[in-house]
Structure 1
Amino acid sequence: MTVDFAHTYTDPPQRFSAELSGGGAAQDLFQRVGTLLGELPEPGPVRTDTDGEREQLGDTTVVHRFVKAPGDSETVTWHYVEAGDPSAPTVVFLHGVPDSWWQWHYALELLSDRYHCVAVDLKGYGQSDKRTGDYRQRGVAGQLQALLDTIGIAEFALVTHDRGTPPGDHVVAMLGDRVTGYARGQQHLWHLHPSLHPQQQLFTSADAPTLLGDARRFVASAYTWLAARPVAASDLLRTIEEFSHPGIAAAVPRYFHSSSFRQEWIDRRAELIRSWTAPVLILQGAQDPMQPHEFYTDPDVVEMLPTGSDVHLFDTGHFWPFEAPHESVDVIRAFLDSVTR
């Protein structure tokens, strides 16, 4: 096929007009957030882990790791959680906003019987480094490569969600010969429209650190707005706790000041997508109010991806790792089994 690199926006389907126009929908969202906040207990104290500390997830023991790797200010301190036999095939997980490694705890628990699972707190989140520096998606991808090199991960599959996906796109382009498969989750790909990323304005506003600093309300708002199915209160509470670490409210907006949804979109169209060589599994929640499923099931999109690529739609909103945890793990496991060498 001939790929058209003219950067033309795609209009959202008509059903999105109410969601995008605000009005009654915005008032309903405000009321639902208030209801959720009234139902949620107060989160526990912010958990601070140490290198080598163990945590039990059901029958699975995971280990917290802290590693300094080359990057900003000479090094970046990364926090990640691993499970499974290090000699097994490795799968790396990158979370989105407002999440942390905890977004993947079901996968760590259920996939570590066969895979070496590594769930990273992205820079600026959780217990990873939050100092100033390079927060461009390409720059963070380079720092992630330095982390993988430092901890001895050569070949791996990558699983991403939401804002973990833009640096993931660069990682897969940069390290093509080391990536066995890319399960690319819940982020704009080929089609885009400015109305579908209103959070860019929020994260670049002067009020952003204040809004993100109220982790309980911010997490409740994000999940109320974008989830279509119930999420366990225990997952919401741990998400709030992990988003409450000092420095997150100032660090996360740096990603949005360093780039834009448009620039990421242009990078994908002009460079990144055609650089991917491993099979790509597009993972999307069919009911996400900001990401029309038609944008991802477009046959031309699948055709431009590497051989063996596919799309899976969950009957969920944005947060399918928590809205449909067991289906999510089953789909990821089947994909990993198909690409493991």
Structure 2
Amino acid sequence: MAQLSSLEYTQLPERAQKIVDSLLPDEEKIHKQVEKFSYIKARPSDKEGDTEILNGTTFTHHFLYGPGDSERVLWHYVEAGPESGEPIIFLHGIPDSWYQWRHQMTVLAKTYRCIGVDLKGYGQSEKGAGDYRHEGVAEQLYDMLQLIGIKTFNLVTHDRGTVQGDFITAKHPESVLRYGRGEQHLYHFNPQLAPQGEIFRDAPWTGFMEDPIKFVNWVYGFVCNKPIPEDEMERVIQEFSYPGTSRAVPRYFNSSTFRSEWLQRRNGLLAAWKCPVMIMEGYDSKTQPREFYENAREYIPNAKDVAVKYIPGGHFWTLESPAETTEAILELLKM
């Protein structure tokens, strides 16, 4: 018979509590941002083998059916760098796509085989009904990597992608060389830090995600501290505009909760990580108080090594502080 958990939420530090008391974004500012980006048009879908050049680096688009759900799951991923290089798998968060990591992939592709995946439900990956538990999707993603010959790899994640990364690192310790774990609750949690859980869960009925311009600006206005270049915001919006995204993404929030994710980590996932782990958090993250990560070594007892790296900016430091994010990953790759 199931037992009630005796774990208690961690009280917020005074500094973090002041931020949480006015956490949700100002609607008037969001309205102005929506008007600013009202010109954006949908981006055409890519085809297998299509390429684009960003900052002088060639990114190649790939599509692959992998096992999962009743029959198969369609994955879209983008690759850069030498095929012979040591692989780095990049997983994004909400409301993003592989593009979230394009600055880091551009630099690292000089040496490493960089693969940015659109999570199931996002970008140009599968949008159909099926298993949207993070644990289930993580296993489908791992199976896809096996199909393309990626047996061992470095894993770098952010936000919702980190939830899936936690399962991959725990269930396949022989495959994950190093884990760069970004912007997600670890050992400590307080539900005041996750008001978006209920909001996103109800999105199919409220229509909260139906307007990608408004939704992306709401999320970035919610937890972003430093300005993002307009051309990059344009692409983020386009990536969330592919048909079916607004209906697929909420399935995650109806399949789990922030609390259940926290319990899974505390009750087994953290102890199962064996590789070197770098905890990457925004120094001024509104929903991830830096005080919660100071003793990370204690929370991941069986990892080969544990480091904590605070990156300038808020939640979206991959775009807020791209150079500093790249430096953090380079440090991870030396662990």
TM normalised by structure 2 equals 0.94
Shift of 1:43: 1.7
SS at match of 1:160: strand
Percent of aligned positions with the same letter in both sequences? 41
- Contact 2:88–2:114 (Cα < 8 Å) also in 1: yes
1:77 has 2:74 as partner: yes
Counterparts in 2 of 1:18 and 1:266: CA distance versus 1, 3 Å? same
1:248 has 2:264 as partner: no
What code does the residue aligned with 1:80 have?
Y
> Aligned partners of 2:296 and 2:68: how far apart in 1?
39
2:263 to 263, 266, 279: 266
> Aligned partners of 1:332 and 1:229: how far apart in 2?
20
1:281 has 2:254 as partner: no
Shift of 1:289: 1.2
Aligned to 1:213: 210
Q: Deviations over 1:77-120 (max 9, x none)?
A: 00000001111100000000000011011112111001000000
Q: Deviations over 1:108-149 (max 9, x none)?
A: 211100100000000000000011111111101110111011
Could you list the structure 1 runs, at least 4 aligned residues long, displaced by more than 6 angstroms after superposition: none
Counterparts in 2 of 1:326 and 1:206: CA distance versus 1, 3 Å? closer
- Contact 2:270–2:299 (Cα < 8 Å) also in 1: no
SS at match of 1:244: coil
SS at match of 1:124: coil
> Aligned partners of 2:298 and 2:278: how far apart in 1?
12
What code does the residue aligned with 1:17 have?
Q
1:63 has 2:60 as partner: yes
- Contact 1:183–1:280 (Cα < 8 Å) also in 2: yes
Aligned to 2:95: 98
Shift of 1:298: 2.9
SS at match of 1:213: coil
1:124 to 106, 121, 124: 121
> Aligned partners of 1:270 and 1:299: how far apart in 2?
16
- Contact 2:297–2:307 (Cα < 8 Å) also in 1: no
> Aligned partners of 1:153 and 1:203: how far apart in 2?
33
1:162 has 2:154 as partner: no
> Aligned partners of 1:113 and 1:187: how far apart in 2?
28
Aligned to 2:20: 20
What code does the residue aligned with 2:8 have?
T
Counterparts in 2 of 1:20 and 1:330: CA distance versus 1, 3 Å? closer
Give the gaps of 5 or more residues in structure 1: none
Counterparts in 2 of 1:78 and 1:333: CA distance versus 1, 3 Å? same
1:292 has 2:292 as partner: no
1:227 has 2:215 as partner: no
Aligned to 1:89: 86
- Contact 1:209–1:249 (Cα < 8 Å) also in 2: no
Shift of 1:211: 1.2
Counterparts in 2 of 1:270 and 1:220: CA distance versus 1, 3 Å? same
- Contact 1:50–1:65 (Cα < 8 Å) also in 2: yes
Shift of 1:304: 3.0
1:133 has 2:130 as partner: yes
Aligned to 1:335: 332
Aligned to 1:194: 191
What code does the residue aligned with 2:271 have?
R
- Contact 2:297–2:306 (Cα < 8 Å) also in 1: no
Give the gaps of 5 or more residues in structure 2: none
SS at match of 1:144: helix
What code does the residue aligned with 2:11 have?
D
SS at match of 1:77: strand
Counterparts in 2 of 1:292 and 1:301: CA distance versus 1, 3 Å? farther
2:169 to 160, 168, 172: 172
Counterparts in 2 of 1:301 and 1:47: CA distance versus 1, 3 Å? farther
> Aligned partners of 2:299 and 2:33: how far apart in 1?
38
SS at match of 1:283: strand
Aligned to 1:204: 201
> Aligned partners of 1:231 and 1:300: how far apart in 2?
32
RMSD: 1.7
> Aligned partners of 1:132 and 1:169: how far apart in 2?
23
Q: Greater shift after overlay, 286-295 or 9-18?
A: 9-18
Q: Greater shift after overlay, 260-269 or 208-217?
A: 208-217
SS at match of 2:209: helix
Q: Greater shift after overlay, 152-161 or 6-15?
A: 6-15
- Contact 2:122–2:240 (Cα < 8 Å) also in 1: yes
What code does the residue aligned with 2:110 have?
D
> Aligned partners of 2:203 and 2:197: how far apart in 1?
12
> Aligned partners of 1:260 and 1:45: how far apart in 2?
31
> Aligned partners of 1:52 and 1:164: how far apart in 2?
24
> Aligned partners of 2:299 and 2:270: how far apart in 1?
11
> Aligned partners of 1:208 and 1:215: how far apart in 2?
16
